[in-house]
Structure 1
Amino acid sequence: MSDAIKLKKHHLYLAIVAATALALAGCSDDDHDHDDSSAATKPAKPTGLGSEQTVDIPQVDYPLPSVDNAENNADGSLRYTLGQNPIAYLLRGINEIWHGTSETWQNAANGNGPDDYLPDPILDPKIWKENIQYVVDVTQNRTDEQAILAFLDDQRSKNYSVIDGYGPLTEAYVEGSDAYVDIPVPTVDQVLVDANYQSSHNDNIAFAGNTSADLGAVVSLVDLFRQRSPASTSASKYIFSTPRPWRMNDSGEIDFLGTDRHYTCTDSEGTASTVTYDRYTSSVEVVPGLMCSRRAHDAEKEADGLYTAETENRRKDGGYPSGHTNAGYLAAMAYAYALPQRYSAMLTRGSQLGEDRIVAGMHSPVDVIGGRIHALSVASYALNNGGESEAEAASEQAQQYFGDMAGAEGMSLYEFAHQSIDDSDETGLIDGNMINTAVYDNNDYDDHGANKKLYRQRLTYGLSQNKDEAGQDPVVPAGAEALLKSRQPYLSDEQRRAVLATTEIDSGYPILDDSNGWGRLDLVTAADGYGAFDGDVSVTMDASEGGFNAHDWWRNDIDGKGMLTLTQDNSGRLTLTGDNSYSGGILLQGGTLEAASASAFGTGDVYVENGTLRINPADDKALEIGGNLTMENGTLAMSMDEDNSQITVGQQVYIAGGTLKLDFADDGPTAGTKFTLINGATVSGTFGNVDAGDVNVELSYSDSGIAATVQ
């Protein structure tokens, strides 16, 4: 063979080698000074703080903790004693604002109510004034639809009323559970105008559905929370005996004007009756259709000497805590536990029922706050005292029932549970001149950000914070972690306690600091994951179990010094959406970690051993990584846009192989379009494979960046 032929074959061999390398790497290196990863120093894995966060169970004295002793609230000999009833004890913070009954009474109360009241009950005039002013403002400025919903939430069974927190699945739940409503159907004027209309309310488990129905296990869970747990607010109402807002003037004082012994109430059949109501100086405007639902005088109670026809019947009509609010939250928490895809929406619906007690003129913010605290402690008691298996059965049933529906529509259950309802298809509260008393499909609670803000506001109702008491450590009561189990099934109990601790509201607000932490819990924010990495966080999701095990979103703004690890056994997808500043870094060993905001990955290092790192920030912004980015293996997946850079790395980019996956829009970019993929202080190494789908790209590397050009 001639030397010329040998030389040609040698050049052909080199060309084939070069082409093969280019095809395998999917790139072209235009910068000969670009560092190979073997020549650069590989960054160390992030180490974080070295331990996970531990949230201590608070040390308390009897009658706490409520998770152990809540049954005292149903014990005839213990329930009326503040020192024996843990649920009432959690609510004792009202005594720092309004203290209307004696210590003797509060530790030996009864179902007849107090014979007398303390002479100067208002101990915090500022807070009490804020409390009543909120009611005045709301009742004097409510819309017709707000008044109608407040009427319905008063009259319908709470088990039925909050079902519409299921949004677009409301009617499907009603059909699958046999839930129903049977209150008389009023006219619009009877609710909005007629102060003599007498409705007929109902409230028992039957209205949540039938335990033998397709969704009977969910109905059973509602029954567990509401009827088979020590859920009654009656004992606390008698112990504290605070007034309802329509009995108070603008300063929260009680100015009794005598009784109206000739008030006429007419029911839906047209039958009229004459009743006696107390009269007061008050700016609170009760919804007209509920005027006859106030506590009227009872002839038997008058005969028993509890009051007379001319004196107040207030002893039998305490405002704190709100029983309707307690019932609404308990039903909502049962529904939320069973179908956590609607967790935050359903809890917001529970809070709306509480708000509607204020809109109705029947309760004040402190009453509603007390009702929420009461409900959370009771639900936790139910779950921690034999109810977990029943709750799991309800969740499994709901996941299967609604999951089958979602699958038939080609949707995930989360997508199906948040599908949009056309306004023209929504039934509405008004049908001609009649009120629609039935729940219906809706999107009323589908603005996640609005839900979060609203729920947080209703933890305090804007009552002033005592700045001297602010900044105390979080308090997570024993057993509270159970409330999040179906929502975050891939976390341990200890991790869920950390979630609650890092998302609860600050201290210093009325009533909340005396509640052993129950009042400070923000379950809607907690449903969005950690608020801070105050320890290292390790996540293992099993995608085969579906639901949030397969894909979850942590939407909070996360700070702290801990690190996040998705373990090698993780097969699920975790999406971070917040404006995050945690500094401990990320270690990805398995599954998918997605950045849906520019600062999703905090300020530390990102180290990929395996799994998929997905980059998809909202608003087409570049992902910012404050430390190093190391690709040891796995996949870096980018949803492509036309920004200057898809990822901006503050320090070193080290690539030892792995796959680069580029997801372009359906129509694809035009040839010659250049995308800056990564910018870093230094860049070394190359990807082992490139997957751009149907788009042909060529990569170019430099010491400070990686770009892709469409061919």
Structure 2
Amino acid sequence: MSASPLLHRRHALALAAALALSLGLGACGGSSSSPDTPAAPAGLGQAETAPVADESSVLPFVDYAATNVRGDGCHATLATNAGVRVLQGMLDLWTPATLLVDAGVTAAATADCPAIDAYTGNGMDGTARNAAVLDANVAYAATVTTARTEAQAEAAYYDDRRGKGYSVTDGLGPLTAAWRSAAQQTTTITSIPADATSQKYDDGGNNTGVGSSGGNTGFGSVVDFVNNVGTNASTEPAKRFYKYARPWRWSSSVVVAPTLVPAKGSPAYTDGGFPSGHTAEAVRDALAMAYVMPERFQELVARALELGDNRILAGMHSPLDVIGGRILGQASAVGNLYAATPETRAAAYRQAHTALMAATGSSDWNAFYAYAHSGSGDRFADSAAVKAAAIKRLTYDFAAIATTGKTAQVPKGAEVLLETRLPYLSAEQRRVVLKTTAIGSGYPALDDAEGYGRLNLVAAADGYGAFNGDVAVTMDAALGGFNAADTWKNDIAGAGLLSKDGSGSLTLAGANRYSGGTLLKAGTLVAGSAGAFGSGDVYASGGTLRAAQAGTLQLGGKLTLLSGSTLQLALGGAGQGRVAVADRLTLDGATLELSFASGFKPAVGDTLVLLSVGKVQGRFDRVSIAGATGELRYEDGRVLLKITG
């Protein structure tokens, strides 16, 4: 015969009482009861999108990348060459001298482009359409080269003379040595020769390393993957189309680094400045490396931007040259990654991780990630500083010259760049990340129709910049890597709702301002800053909500914790691990887990404020304290813990 409902209830109450006693807990201030539970935040009711530009008027680079052929330099036009077309923002500033071609010689007759290119000008014989911007462009180069330090001159020399693929690998930080060893990368530029001021030295190394055809069975597919982003990626057609001179030709105030004077090109008509070829190659190589090693995504992109900046410090290029190189480098990387099969991309990712995890003795991904960020000499370790430097290197202090505040356009296929860095997002969501982290509109040469100029990939590596629609994230910890745990560090704006589901853990670490609310369904959602959850309501129907910031977590709306949800607080000094709720705290079947931060040990008899709220409804059903016993108290506007042992 089955037990009666009354016996079931008595048994449950007895278990609950035993649990409370075992924890040394009391519940003062009233008994637990089912509160009038608020509704979950509704958000905007729709997700944001980032549609591709109208292809009837904008030809996507990814569909026409094959037109950017190096030998096309004499005939490349906006209509025929994708590399020229993606840089056409330059035409708002500069009209190049007319390209004259011997009508009797065709491209098919010879692959020697200069032989059929009748242009013999100096790259300064075009027409300035915005003299103020062009003057500022050269003046910037003059300013930084006359103030250049010895350390900057040395860095500029290495980035000029070494293979670009070799140079950008130091963006891998603690993983650099393991990567170079696995790739079998070499360089012959290991120091600056005493006679470098009079003798040009070329790198006799192998740049990106040894590929699969060279017998590199353990890392060859990775090297091939990096090399393939250079397909149809030449800057030569664009250089010959735009015919814009290097800064030292424009002004004698631009001082080329003495050790690089022997590397100055001649004649002028074959030595264009726009776009920077070094920058373009560094950017596309770094993006391929970042795809297979997303643990260092932000740092690799930052290293490529640094290399571009070093081209200006060298005196070899102007800011506009470097901006053009970045745009074309990004487009080339997208075009080639987009064209690669998912299987090819996945195989390169797997091989990179298999080799480097073994080389670093990493037992799992968490250990590998920790190793990748363990170097004391890592100059890209400060994420905030890296992001600030990136903004400067994307815009170079130019003032806006066109409409500001325009919604960013995202290039077709650009979402592939974030495929391994944000693997738990959909392709459309990754496009929205690129859209919401893009730099502002109106800057010189950056408002290209596809949107390459405004991409800020350093910021995109830190997740959304705004919730302009509702964002639903499902993370599967079983898939490992960033699927299991990730952190968004941007300051998120917008009126949308964040909904977190799945078994993985997501940390929000920015000074967030989004107002649509936060809904936790499963897994772990971590507050890594005082304003992590913006100004809306926080509603947990399941999962674990963790306050991990140094100070008090500030919630601008209601906090609702339902059955199946857990609130974790790690208490410390100066308000660490506490929560301030502007409106109502509603508890209906939730669990509270308390611990103490390292170095913080309250004394018996101390009373700690855990939550300060507008109003408390309900009680925690289960409470645990690591390392102490205590009594939980509920008062008007506060939830307290008195330490009893």
The offset of 1:206, in angstroms, is: 5.4
Given that residues 477 and 518 in structure 1 are in contact (C-alpha distance below 8 angstroms), is that contact kept between their aligned partners in structure 2? Answer: yes
Aligned match of 1:596:
528
Corresponding residue of 1:338: 292
Q: Does 1:497 align with 2:467?
A: no
> Is 2:264 aligned against 1:294?
yes
Conserved? CA contact 1:649–1:679, under 8 Å: yes
Q: Name the counterpart of 1:456.
A: 391
Count residues with an aligned counterpart.
615
Partner SS state of residue 412, structure 1? helix
C-alpha deviations, 1:118-169, integer Å up to 9, x for none?
8562221211111111111111112212111111111111111111111111
Q: 2:544 maps to what in 1?
A: 612
Please give the secondary structure, in 2, of the residue aligned with 1:675.
strand
| CA gap 1:348/1:119 in 2 versus in 1, 3 angstroms | closer
Deviates more, 1:521-530 or 1:196-205: 196-205
Q: Distance in 2 between matches of 1:205 and 1:420?
A: 24
After superposition, the Cα gap between the structure-2 partners of 1:286 and 1:675, relative to the gap in structure 1 and judged at 3 Å, is same
Structure 1 residue 445 corresponds to structure 2 residue 360: no
Equivalent-residue separation in structure 2 for 1:162 and 1:248 (angstroms): 29
Which of 315-324 and 178-187 deviates more? Answer: 178-187
Shift of 1:97: 1.6
Instruction: Provide the residue aligned with 1:82 in structure 2.
Output: 78
Any conservation in 2 of the 1:208–1:222 contact (CA below 8 Å)?
no
Measured at CA, do residues 206 and 682 of structure 1 come closer, stay the same or move farther in structure 2, by a change above 3 Å?
Answer: closer
Distance across 1 between alignment mates of 2:565 and 2:303 = 42
Query: 2:29 matched to which residue of 1?
Result: 31
Structure 1: how far apart are the matches of 2:630 and 2:411? Answer: 56
Residue 386 in 1 paired to residue 353 in 2? no
- Partner in structure 1 of residue 490 of structure 2: 556
Q: Identify the residue that residue 49 of structure 1 maps to in structure 2.
A: 44
Does residue 416 of structure 1 match 2:371? yes
Structure 2 CA distance for partners of 1:657 and 1:184, relative to 1, 3 Å: closer
* RMSD between aligned residues: 2.6
Structure 1 stretches of 5 or more lacking a match? Answer: 1-12, 250-281, 297-312, 422-441
CA distance in 2, matches of 1:85, 1:400: 39
Where do 1:295-694 residues align within 5 Å? 295-296=265-266, 313-404=267-358, 405=360, 407-408=362-363, 412-421=367-376, 442-466=377-401, 468-567=402-501, 570-617=502-549, 620-632=550-562, 633-643=564-574, 646-666=578-598, 668-694=601-627
Separation of aligned partners in 2, 1:25 and 1:681 = 28
Compare 395-404 and 504-513 and name the one that shifted more. Answer: 395-404
Distance 2:54 2:205 in 1: 37
1:125 matched to 2:119? The reply is no
* Matched residue type, 2:303: R
In the TM superposition, 1:267-282 aligns within 5 A as 282=252
What is the CA–CA distance in structure 2 between the aligned matches of 1:363 and 1:21, rounded to whole Å?
Answer: 71
| Counterpart position of 1:231 | 233
Q: Which amino acid aligns with 1:225?
A: V
- Taking the aligned partners of 1:476 and 1:543, their CA distance within structure 2 comes to 29
Gaps of at least 5 residues in structure 2 are 1-10, 108-112
2:7 counterpart residue number: none
Residue identity over aligned pairs, in percent, reads 39
> So what's the TM-score if we normalise by structure 2?
0.90
Q: Alpha-carbon deviations, 1:395-417, whole Å to 9, x = none?
A: 12222333343535996222110
Cα distance in 1 for residues equivalent to 2:23 and 2:622:
5
TM-superposed deviation, 1:243: 0.3
- For the 8 Å contact 1:31–1:700, the answer to whether it is kept is yes
2:201 pairs with 1:196: no
C-alpha spacing 1:494/1:406, structure 2 compared with 1 (3 Å): farther
How far is 1:173 from its partner?
Answer: 1.0
Please give the alpha-carbon distance, in whole angstroms, between the structure 2 residues aligned to 1:585 and 1:26. Answer: 35
Asked if 1 retains the 8 angstrom alpha-carbon contact of 2:77 and 2:85, the reply is: no
The alpha-carbon deviation at position 514 of structure 1 amounts to 2.5
Match of 2:5 in 1: none
Deviation at 1:98, TM superposition (A): 2.2
* Cα 1:385/1:592, change in 2 over 3 Å: same
Letter in 2 for 1:28: G
CA–CA separation in structure 1 for the residues paired with 2:628 and 2:526: 23
Q: Could you tell me whether the CA contact under 8 Å between 1:28 and 1:701 is conserved in 2?
A: no
Q: Note the alpha carbon deviations across 1:248-292, whole angstroms, 9 max, x for none.
A: 12xxxxxxxxxxxxxxxxxxxxxxxxxxxxxxxx11111111111
Q: Kindly report which structure 2 residues correspond to 1:690-705, keeping only aligned pairs within 5 A, or say none.
A: 690-705=623-638
- Cα separation, 2, equivalents of 1:447 and 1:409: 25
Q: Is the 8 Å Cα contact of residues 684 and 703 (structure 1) preserved in structure 2?
A: no
Residue type matched to 2:28 in 1? D
Contact 1:91 1:515 in 2 (8 A): no
Larger displacement relative to structure 2 (507-516 or 56-65): 56-65
Contact 2:174–2:372 at 8 Å: present in 1 too? yes
Kept in 1: contact 2:484–2:503 (CA 8 A): yes
Residue by residue, what CA displacement relative to the aligned partner does 1:81-113 show, whole Å, maximum 9, x if unpaired?
Answer: 2211122111112122222323777x9995436
Normalising to structure 1: TM-score of the pair?
Answer: 0.82
Amino acid at match of 2:127: P
Query: Which letter maps to 1:661?
Result: E
Between structure 1 and structure 2, the one with the greater Rg is 1
Q: Distance in 2 between matches of 1:211 and 1:628?
A: 61
